[in-house]
Structure 1
Amino acid sequence: MFPYRVTKYDPVHRDELGRYARDDWTSFADVGRECAGAILTLDEYERVESTYIDSALGFLREADVRSLSARGVENASGSSVAPTEGASLEPLALGAVMQGILREDFWCRLEAPAAFVHFGWDYYMYVGVPARCESACEVARRRGLFVEPFESPYRESDDPHEEAS
């Protein structure tokens, strides 16, 4: 498996513990608010959101991953877009589900035996695929995202007897 962290956050601005040290927006709820000296507009939010979604789908396409399943679904708001637990999602449905997760309407892990897309707090995205995806990495970088080798903190152990660290 080839795991990546794909974000809008430039790694040169991380502190010694890996925390992003600059002021930046981190949520759909920040639309209309001032972040880093500028108001986050809906247009700018949607531009970045579509870049994340397109990038995730690009990794899956390049790695020939045809579907992911919804795991750990949390839907306290009752969103009609939220998948049911275990639902198999093909690329067309994945985009809408990813948008719902990024907008914090609901949450779930998107997983297959050899691939995943996870979204975390503060607009972090983790992608794991069964093959190197140099083209997808390059496209994400050209669109302004930063791609780093990184294990997802949301990945459940493959071994049910392995202790969490």
Structure 2
Amino acid sequence: MHPSFAHRITKYNPADRDEHGHYIGAEDTESDHGPVEAAYLEAIAAFAQESGIDLLEIREPQVAGFVGFGLETSVDGHGLAGLFPSDLTGYYDGAEVSVPVALELVRAMLRDQGAWCRLEQRNTFTVHVGWDQYVYVGSDQPCEAAIAHTKADLGVLDSAAQHLGPLATAQGAQASERSPSQVPSEMDAFGVHGETREDRSESA
């Protein structure tokens, strides 16, 4: 089971998409390390608060090796310095972190600093960071206030809430994998158009 409501948080203007949903604007695919990045984090915090989430579990934690996950150069400590000891004790599958720590993990992922993981609370809340500054938030609550705040005040919500019906849930619809492989077709339930890492130049 996955959360019933899914949202795609993105800085890309939906008006700058072609008829296939591919982004064709000039927005950079890297984090600005500034106000836009802060808007992403504030949006996630708003959804977590309205969903009643205080703790999130780390799932499938990874750190970059010789090849990084994204366009930016990985940093020493993989962006985890100050969050976990240097030996990464506490950064393991199933570890619980507070929402503030989870937001710092998202910041590191947005900056491609070398760490990546899923952040989940069983079947009630998920945060998944995809390629090219796309963040997917799932909740078992409609989060109407968070949607309004994210769209009107922050301007980083791609679309209104989408409700995943029984079919989409049964198919295992979930947020975009941080993988260079093709995004499965069932991702369309989240408003995610199937594209590969190589499609970056035309469909960010």
Which runs of structure 1 show a deviation greater than 4 angstroms over 4 or more consecutive aligned residues?
none
Unaligned runs of 5+ in 2: 65-73, 85-90, 163-173, 179-183, 186-204
Kindly state the Cα deviation for residue 71 of structure 1 after the two structures are TM-superposed. 1.1
Kindly state the Cα deviation for residue 8 of structure 1 after the two structures are TM-superposed. 0.9
Kindly state the Cα deviation for residue 66 of structure 1 after the two structures are TM-superposed. 2.0
TM-score, structure 2 as length reference:
0.63
Partner of residue 152, structure 1 = 175
Kindly state the Cα deviation for residue 154 of structure 1 after the two structures are TM-superposed. 3.0
Where 1:16 maps in the other structure, the secondary structure is coil
- Identity percentage of aligned residues: 32
1:61 aligned to which of 49, 56, 70: 49
Unaligned runs of 5+ in 1: 29-43, 156-163
Partner of residue 4, structure 1 = 7
1:117 aligned to which of 107, 110, 127: 127
Kindly indicate whether residue 114 of structure 2 is the aligned counterpart of residue 108 of structure 1.
Answer: no
Partner of residue 21, structure 1 = 24
Confirm or deny: 8 A CA contact 2:33 2:111 kept in the other structure.
no
TM-score, structure 1 as length reference:
0.77
Kindly state the Cα deviation for residue 92 of structure 1 after the two structures are TM-superposed. 2.1
Q: Distance in 2 between matches of 1:107 and 1:97?
A: 8
- Cα deviation per residue 1:83-130 (whole Å; 9 max; x = unaligned)? 332211111211211111111121111112121011111100100011
Kindly state the Cα deviation for residue 2 of structure 1 after the two structures are TM-superposed. 0.5
Confirm or deny: 8 A CA contact 1:11 1:146 kept in the other structure.
no
In terms of fraction of residues, the more strand-rich structure is 1
Letter in 2 for 1:73: P
Confirm or deny: 8 A CA contact 2:14 2:158 kept in the other structure.
no
* Larger displacement relative to structure 2 (88-97 or 49-58): 88-97
CA RMSD of aligned residues (A): 2.1
Q: Distance in 2 between matches of 1:127 and 1:2?
A: 8
Q: Distance in 2 between matches of 1:120 and 1:21?
A: 18
Kindly state the Cα deviation for residue 52 of structure 1 after the two structures are TM-superposed. 0.3
Q: Distance in 1 between matches of 2:148 and 2:128?
A: 20
User: What number of residue pairs does the alignment pair up?
Assistant: 142
Confirm or deny: 8 A CA contact 1:109 1:154 kept in the other structure.
no
Where 1:70 maps in the other structure, the secondary structure is strand
Confirm or deny: 8 A CA contact 1:137 1:147 kept in the other structure.
no
Confirm or deny: 8 A CA contact 1:10 1:146 kept in the other structure.
no
Partner of residue 41, structure 1 = none
